[in-house]
A and B are shown apart, each in its own frame.
Chain A
Amino acid sequence: MDKKQLQKFIQWLQEKNYIVIGPTKEDGQILIKTISESSQLDFSGQLPLYSFKKYLVPSREILFKYKKDDFKADLTAFKQALIGVSIFDLKAILLYNQVFEKDPYYQARLNNTLIIGQSQIPQFQNLSFKVWEDKYEEDILEHLQFDIFLGQAKEKKSSEFKIFTGSKKGQQILNDFAKQSGWKSDFEHVEYAGPIKEEGANPEMMKIKEKMPGSLETDIWQNLDQRCIECGKCTIVCPTCFCFSLTDQPCLNKDEGMRKRCWDSCFYSEFSEITGGHKFLKNTAERIYNWYYHKFVRIPDEYNFPGCVGCGRCSMVCPAGIKIHEVLESIKTK
């Protein structure tokens, strides 16, 4: 599929009532936004500052609208097409799919979402944001969940995309598009083989996981305690940070309101606070340790894959200059 056909395909999706969301260049920055024209999309493969997280796990969502004691679940979801989803963000979607497997709100949204990945690994301007060695491999697609994937053609000079499908939905859509547009249907189907590669869990992850508990005795966390200002920016940009709180928001009308699920941040001091004021994560050192523990021990324990996709966004936004790859290096070599 060449660029022209791709633009046509995007227009066709819009005609099919899909809201199309993808990377677009604004003031020199790549942002993920809802686009109105397919020409707004940027396929350069640069890493957008934010991930696609909020389109599947919104920062605020209404679970119920209540009137007195009548709680009505709001499971409405609109049709959306996420286009240009990088391998990093696809890995995060893999995690959401596990974490929210039994969540009717997430599942309703996912069912109405078309996920279109893109192969180019971002060319980092600054290599210091690179988290770990996790390069693009031939077999990676079979370990990711997506509908359609825009792969780079084998011949480097070609501007064509090699199209893959990863779901029945993806196949169906492309067949429909081919029928209605005259595009010569040409794609390869990749059967999902689960999140973990045949050779087993990521060895890099296993090494960090093994070293994490013992690292508590070192000065790694005390040093970070002195630097981290607990702004929570890393948790906002992190594609895999999904923790949330449940709160009620009363309306002005008497007895009416909404029960909401909102992003939370484990860096906020009240995150672990219970009635009476006791906090189980008492200080910055304990909270930052908990953040790393979640990504490199708890998620691997639960799902056998890392809770860090390696995008480096946390390092890019940290006002204190904390770099995740440096922290991981010090855990490994302690």
Chain B
Amino acid sequence: MKNSYQPKIAVIKKIKIQTPEVKLFTLQFKNKEDQKNFEFIPGQFIEVGLPSFSEAPFAVCSNPNDSDKNFQICVRIAGQLTKKIHQLKINDQLTVRGPFGNGFPNNLTGNILLIGGGLGLVPLRPLILANQNNRNFKMQIFYGACEAKDLLFQNEYKIWQKSANLALTLDKQCPNWKGNVGLITTLFDKIKVDSSAIAILCGPPVMYKFVIQKLKQAGLDDANIFLSLERRMHCGIGVCQHCSVGSKYACKHGPIFSYQELKNIPGAL
């Protein structure tokens, strides 16, 4: 019987500082077979841990087409575990379980609007990277961060813009910033969103209500709005009850849900 709690060991191959609080870790499974067999769907997550510091869920944020070579996670210092992970160096090891959850729908075509708030850009990145040469995929990205220093993956925007339209906004005016200032909802006043678009949202819980309002105003169908739900996930397999959303589990049936599935569940959004 498969033991879903059995972690595999991954080795840190690269560390890239993204912002003062966020590091991008490139990981590779210690066991070559584990790496070769590793596959994930954009939007899925893994449980990453350190012995004696337990585990926490992180979105896999690399290109899914590279998953047989390595994979990446973005870690913001937020608690004991992440503080410790930030102290790790190249060739140090982490434990990994997963991937878990459903991931984004895999047959996306047409106008795709990705909306990321803060760290919410992280789970969207594999979708961006995997669809750079996808001609059936017209990508518009809305990304908002607090300040200019908080913008993630800044060195990749030029490449992304070859295949996507990227609109940035900052909550606060920052020196030398010539782009939009204001919450992510203000981007809807500048860029028209097609009513036939498929929207994919990922951000802090507070963002969803307001962005959904804007999407509904633009005429999007409830079934075409997808959200990634953040919840406390311990087991990853829909047993421990921490991440329940109505009668579903964010770790098993999610973390990606359509607005249609969620709108009548109290407390889901």
| A interface residue numbers (CB < 8 A to B) | 63-64, 66, 68-69, 71, 73, 99-100, 102-104, 107, 213, 216, 242-248, 250, 255, 257, 259, 261, 264, 266, 271-276, 278, 280-281, 286, 290, 293-294, 297-298, 301-302
Nearest residue, chain A, Cβ from B8: A71
| B interface residue numbers (CB < 8 A to A) | 1-7, 9, 49, 51-56, 78-79, 82, 93, 95, 204-205, 230-232, 234-235, 237, 239-242, 244, 246-247, 266-267
Please tell me if the beta carbons of B78 and A104 are within 8 angstroms of each other in the complex: no
Please tell me if the beta carbons of B51 and A243 are within 8 angstroms of each other in the complex: no
Nearest residue, chain B, Cβ from A273: B232
Please tell me if the beta carbons of B266 and A216 are within 8 angstroms of each other in the complex: yes
Please tell me if the beta carbons of A246 and B235 are within 8 angstroms of each other in the complex: yes
Nearest residue, chain A, Cβ from B5: A63
Question: CA separation between A111 and B258, bound complex, in Å?
Answer: 41
Nearest residue, chain B, Cβ from A270: B232
Which residue among B5, B53, B266 has the maximum number of chain A CB atoms within 10 Å of its CB? B5
Q: List 18 A-B contacts (CB under 8 A).
A: A64-B7, A69-B51, A73-B6, A102-B1, A103-B239, A242-B241, A244-B241, A246-B240, A248-B49, A259-B54, A272-B232, A272-B242, A274-B231, A274-B232, A276-B78, A276-B204, A298-B247, A302-B247
A100-B239, A275-B79 known; A246-B234 Cβ under 8 A: yes
Residues of A within 8 A of B82 (CB): 275
Question: CA separation between A276 and B240, bound complex, in Å?
Answer: 21
Please tell me if the beta carbons of B93 and A69 are within 8 angstroms of each other in the complex: yes
Minimum distance in angstroms from B242 CB to a CB of chain A: 6
Residues of B within 8 A of A281 (CB): 267
Residues of A within 8 A of B235 (CB): 244, 246
Cβ 8 A contact of B1, one of A104, A242, A245, A286:
A104
Minimum distance in angstroms from B54 CB to a CB of chain A: 5
Question: CA separation between A59 and B174, bound complex, in Å?
Answer: 52
Minimum distance in angstroms from A307 CB to a CB of chain B: 11
Please tell me if the beta carbons of A68 and B267 are within 8 angstroms of each other in the complex: no
Please tell me if the beta carbons of B51 and A255 are within 8 angstroms of each other in the complex: yes
Question: CA separation between A298 and B265, bound complex, in Å?
Answer: 12
Residues of A within 8 A of B51 (CB): 66, 68-69, 71, 248, 250, 255, 257, 259
Cβ 8 A contact of A274, one of B1, B49, B230, B246:
B230
Please tell me if the beta carbons of B6 and A102 are within 8 angstroms of each other in the complex: no
Residues of B within 8 A of A248 (CB): 49, 51-54
Minimum distance in angstroms from A205 CB to a CB of chain B: 14
Cβ 8 A contact of B3, one of A73, A216, A266, A297:
A73
Residues of B within 8 A of A261 (CB): 5
Residues of A within 8 A of B6 (CB): 64, 71, 73
Please tell me if the beta carbons of B241 and A266 are within 8 angstroms of each other in the complex: yes
Residues of B within 8 A of A273 (CB): 232
Question: CA separation between A278 and B204, bound complex, in Å?
Answer: 10
Which residue among A248, A261, A264 has the maximum number of chain B CB atoms within 10 Å of its CB? A248
Cβ 8 A contact of A286, one of B4, B93, B231, B267:
B267
Minimum distance in angstroms from B119 CB to a CB of chain A: 10
Please tell me if the beta carbons of A301 and B267 are within 8 angstroms of each other in the complex: no
Question: CA separation between A63 and B266, bound complex, in Å?
Answer: 34
Please tell me if the beta carbons of A69 and B95 are within 8 angstroms of each other in the complex: yes
Please tell me if the beta carbons of A99 and B55 are within 8 angstroms of each other in the complex: no
Please tell me if the beta carbons of A246 and B5 are within 8 angstroms of each other in the complex: yes
Minimum distance in angstroms from A163 CB to a CB of chain B: 32
Not counting A73-B6, A244-B241, a sample of 7 additional A-B residue pairs whose C-beta atoms are within 8 angstroms of each other reads A102-B237, A243-B241, A245-B242, A259-B51, A271-B242, A290-B244, A294-B241
A63-B5, A275-B78, A276-B78 known; A245-B247 Cβ under 8 A: no
